[in-house]
Amino acid sequence: MSTIPTDSVGLVQPQTLHFDEPLGLVSGKTIEQYDIVYETYGTLNANADNAVLVCHALSADHHAAGYHNADDSKPGWWDICIGPGKPIDTNRFFVVSPSNLGHCSGSTGPRSIDPKTAKAYGPDFPIITVTDWVNYQARLADRLGIKQWAAVAGGSLGGMQALQWAVQFPDRLRYAVVIASASKLSAQNIAFNAVARQAIMSDPDFHEGRYYDYDTVPASGLKTARMLGHITYLSDDAMGDKFGRELKNEQLNYDYGVEFQVESYLRYQGESFVNRFDANTYLLMTKALDYFDPAEKEGGDLAVVFEKVTAKFLLASFTTDWRFSPARSREIVSALTDAKRDVSYLEFESNYGHDAFLMKNDDYIDAFKAYMDNIEVSG
Amino acid sequence: MSTIPTDSVGLVQPQTLHFDEPLGLVSGKTIEQYDIVYETYGTLNANADNAVLVCHALSADHHAAGYHNADDSKPGWWDICIGPGKPIDTNRFFVVSPSNLGHCSGSTGPRSIDPKTAKAYGPDFPIITVTDWVNYQARLADRLGIKQWAAVAGGSLGGMQALQWAVQFPDRLRYAVVIASASKLSAQNIAFNAVARQAIMSDPDFHEGRYYDYDTVPASGLKTARMLGHITYLSDDAMGDKFGRELKNEQLNYDYGVEFQVESYLRYQGESFVNRFDANTYLLMTKALDYFDPAEKEGGDLAVVFEKVTAKFLLASFTTDWRFSPARSREIVSALTDAKRDVSYLEFESNYGHDAFLMKNDDYIDAFKAYMDNIEVSG
């Protein structure tokens, strides 16, 4: 970038907080102590009533908006939605964006050193659920002096955290923004995750998750998993528009190399992911997705779960998203309606599939902004 | 089975023909000599005008109907459609069902011994396209004394062969039956194949396709590929109905083992496939799918391609098939209509996704039978 755009939060710096109090987990295990890395944008007001928690999805992290360096080629993952004048308007809101526990971007996760063994946790890092994330996020809020979020917002797995917040700490948020998400995975969703894990865990460089000790990474397994993930993030149409049957070279070679542009693109995506992401974290994130099912204890009746909810909800979905289709959002809307909660639902035309929640789209940005602008915060 | 059903073709035996004449391939390579294993059901009539060629898809083979042994637990892969009184009625038709060149069930393929080296072909076995299959199938027809097929029929990749027959040898078939198929893969279809190949080819036991020499097989790669394939054969709804979020054990274990029934099912499917299928053949079949695009030389205009076609067409698709959706069949129907060809199109309600063409469904069976019954054959 030569100059940082004027509607950007600008240069930002991650911060880290250390937590000493053990965190009990849904699995029954405990994390004795941990670090959380996070970014903030905007300013917390005197009443601390303008804070918005942004929750990330599978492969994103704390860097949601702005730039770390003036020459960064890309801003944070949700920069289209966070900044001055944007939907999550940093002129009004104080945004908190943490990397989740279990992640590989600075918060404590499988790649971190286990103080008990002085080696990387690896497979000994416990399974973390969405409920656990909401618990550590509540502690983070405590440390930052935020008794109640103006809103908790996220897309995909991030939307699940926003939903869970409303269920778990009804008094601690006023709005839940749940975009391109679902109240639980379908069998097909679980199946895709199972294939991704199979690819990683059968890579001989995985070493049952202890690959750090072998100074290697299960690169080919993680690459396969990411390639597969990418297919599910894009729509059939989007892939068709972007690549069609365009060839990589001028003519067909009739061999097992790359023939089509779409193959080349997927390989590139897979390879670059391996350089920035940890395989154990990928496993952990897919498991958090699998396990999420807040209605399970109520026999699947989401409306019963929502009876205790006081937050107002914004649900949004995108027409070509087949990972978490509009129908999945409508299930949540319907349960909220049955529970007589306050819910707005927006369905946007988009060709970009699940990734649409990360893409520029005037209808989406404008409607999201209009909703957020109506959230009252003190002066 | 205790007794073989009365509407079965009964006990059948594969036969093998050897072909000495070299077969020139689309890739520019040549196969010097090869075996084709095939089954036949019914009787060729005196005018040899009642023969139906059945073409198989990715993982099926020559065993399309009946039983090899009285105690077989399952009949051939299209037994619901082939037999006395069934759509491809063996009281009227003589059915020929070969295993394709490149397969691993007896016809010459990567696992066969290359006479030049006295070792398995492995990666030296050339890429085979649908066009090449139609060429060897024409030679098979010659050897069996069949100048013109009453019909060529298949589902999925088998349907592509039926379509290609009509284009490549217009005079040698009267009907083409193309079920749950497409005139070319979409970018998404190619992408799924690329991930499957990535899984196989990155398995260290793959040894660049020469795993036979190492007395091993790329089992985990092939398992991953098959698990992924299975997801695309079933609909989201079918997986939901069959498995939902049902647990494998009574409670969640919060570990990286199998938690949900759908994971267990996929693993089982993947593992049993490894025992019966060859990884190099899997690669080859996915490549044949990728390369199929009869309209490519006409700038994508399928209607131009169909101008030379004389066969009548039956197209059929299934509502929840997302691998080759009804829209893909309708593209073919539309091009045939533009070229003023004779085409019938049937779209069936089904919950079974792509696999529906292999499943019992009265509407499908009845309509398919009615169509086939109208094909005239001499007495």
Q: Considering CB atoms only, which of A26, A256, A266 is closest to B191?
A: A266
What's chain A's average pLDDT?
96
**How does strand A119-120 pair with strand A82-83?**
unpaired
Are residue B247 and residue B366 in the same domain, yes or no?
no
Mapped onto helix, strand or coil, the DSSP state of residue A233 is helix
Closest CB to B191: pick one of A192, A231, A252.
Answer: A231
- Check whether residue A36 and residue A179 sit in a common domain: yes
The residue out of A287, A307, A325 marking a domain boundary is A287
Question: Would you call A248 an interface residue with chain B, using a CB distance cutoff of 8 Å?
Answer: no
Q: Does B2 map to a domain? A: no
> How far A186 CA sits from the closest chain B CA (Å)?
6
- Do B228 and B175 sit in the same domain of this protein? no
Residue A170 contacts B, CB cutoff 8 Å:
no
Give helix A279-291 / helix A157-168 axis angle, nearest 10°. Answer: 50
The CATH number linked to A150 is 3.40.50.1820
**Whether B127 contacts chain A with CB within 8 A:** yes
Look at A99-103, A245-249, B192-196 and tell me which has the smallest mean pLDDT: A245-249
**In this complex, is the C-beta atom of A194 within 8 Å of any C-beta atom belonging to chain B?**
yes
| Mean pLDDT along residues B301-312 | 98
Judge: A256–B287 Cβ closer than 8 Å, yes or no: yes
* B293 min Cα distance to partner chain A (Å): 9
* B58 assigned to some structural domain: yes
**Residue B128 shares a structural domain with residue B32:** yes
Does B94 lie in the same domain as B22? yes
* pLDDT 10s digits, B328-340: 999 999 999 999 9
Question: Looking at the structure, do residues B168 and B252 belong to the same domain, yes or no?
Answer: no
Give the model's confidence band at B379: pLDDT under 50 very low, under 70 low, under 90 confident, else very high: confident
Residues of B in contact with A270 (CB under 8 A): 198
Residue B336's pLDDT is what?
Answer: 98
Give the number of beta-carbon pairs within 8 Å between A and B.
Answer: 159
pLDDT bucket at B2, cuts 50 / 70 / 90: low
Domain that holds residue B225: 189-287
Q: pLDDT for A317-329, tens place per residue? A: 999 999 999 999 9
> Between B2 and B320, where is the model more confident?
B320
The pLDDT of residue A1 is above 70: no
Structural domain count of chain A: 2
> For residue A3, is pLDDT > 90?
no
Q: What CATH number did the domain enclosing A201 receive?
A: 1.10.1740.110
> Is A241 a catalytic site residue?
no
A219: nearest CA partner in chain B: B202
**Is residue A167 domain-shared with residue A19, that is, in the same domain?**
yes
Same domain, residue pair B167 and B196: no
Rounded mean pLDDT, A250-267: 95
Active site residue B354: yes
Tell which of A131, A188, A268 to mutate to test the B interface (max B CBs under 10 Å). Answer: A188
Pairwise CB contact (< 8 Å): A263 & B228: no
**Residue A315 in domain:** yes
pLDDT tens, position by position, B198-225: 999 999 999 999 999 999 999 999 999 9
Residue where a domain terminates, one of B243, B260, B287: B287
Q: Give the confidence band of A354 by pLDDT, cuts at 50, 70, 90.
A: very high
**What's the pLDDT band for A2 if we cut at 50, 70, 90?**
low
Among B187, B240, B296, whose Cβ lies nearest the Cβ of A186?
B240
- Facing A195 at nearest CB: one of B184, B231, B255: B231
Residue B33, in any domain of the structure: yes
Mean pLDDT of A276-304: 97
Contact B198 A252 (CB under 8 A): no
Identify whether residues B341 and B225 lie together within a single domain: no
Residue B1 lies in a domain: no
Residues A203 and A283 in one domain: yes
Q: What is the pLDDT of residues B39-65, one digit of tens each?
A: 999 999 999 999 999 999 999 999 999
Record: contact A228-B195, CB cut-off 8 A: yes
Whether A354 is a known active-site residue: answer: yes
Answer yes or no: is A379 within a domain: no
Task: Point out the residue among B29, B186, B198 whose CB comes nearest to the CB of A224.
Answer: B198
Last residue of a domain, one of B287, B304, B337: B287
φ, ψ for residue B185 (rounded to 5)? -75, 150
Q: What ipTM was assigned to the predicted interfaces of this complex?
A: 0.94
Q: How far is A375 from chain B (nearest CA, A)?
A: 36
According to the model, what pLDDT value does residue B45 have? 98
Is the CB of B245 less than 8 angstroms away from the CB of A201?
Answer: no
CA distance B165 to chain A (A): 21
Q: What is the structure's pLDDT at A152?
A: 98
> CA of A153, closest CA in chain B: separation in Å?
26
In three-state form (DSSP H/G/I as H, E/B as E, the rest C), the secondary structure along chain B is CCCCCCCCCCECCCEEEEECCCEECCCCCEECCEEEEEEEECCCCCCCCCEEEEECCCCCCCCCCCECCCCCCCCCCCCCCEECCCCEECCCCEEEEECCCCCCCCCCCCCCEECCCCEECHHHCCCCCHHHHHHHHHHHHHHCCCCCEEEEEEECHHHHHHHHHHHHCHHHEEEEEEECCCCCCCHHHHHHHHHHHHHHHCCHHHHHHCHHHHCCCCHHHHHHHHHHHHHHHCCHHHHHHHCCCCECCCCCCCCCCCCEHHHHHHHHHHHHHHHHCCHHHHHHHHHHHHHCCCCHHHCCCHHHHHCCCCCEEEEEEECCCCCCCHHHHHHHHHHHHHCCCCEEEEEECCCCHHHHHHCCCHHHHHHHHHHHHCCCCCC
User: Looking at the predicted structure, is the pLDDT value of residue A85 above 60?
Assistant: yes
Per-residue pLDDT reduced to its tens digit, A87-98: 999 999 999 999
Domain shared by A161 and A82, yes or no:
yes
pLDDT in tens, A157-204: 999 999 999 999 999 999 999 999 999 999 999 999 999 999 999 999
Q: Please, what is the Cα angle at B240 between B235 and B244, to 5 degrees? A: 155
Residue B236 in domain: yes
Considering the domain architecture, whether residues B175 and B202 belong to the same structural domain is answered as no
Per the domain annotation, does A93 fall within a domain? yes
Are B283 and A191 in contact (CB < 8 Å)?
A: no
* Best mutation target, A217, A224, A261, to test chain B (most B CBs within 10 A): A224
Contact B228 A195 (CB under 8 A): yes
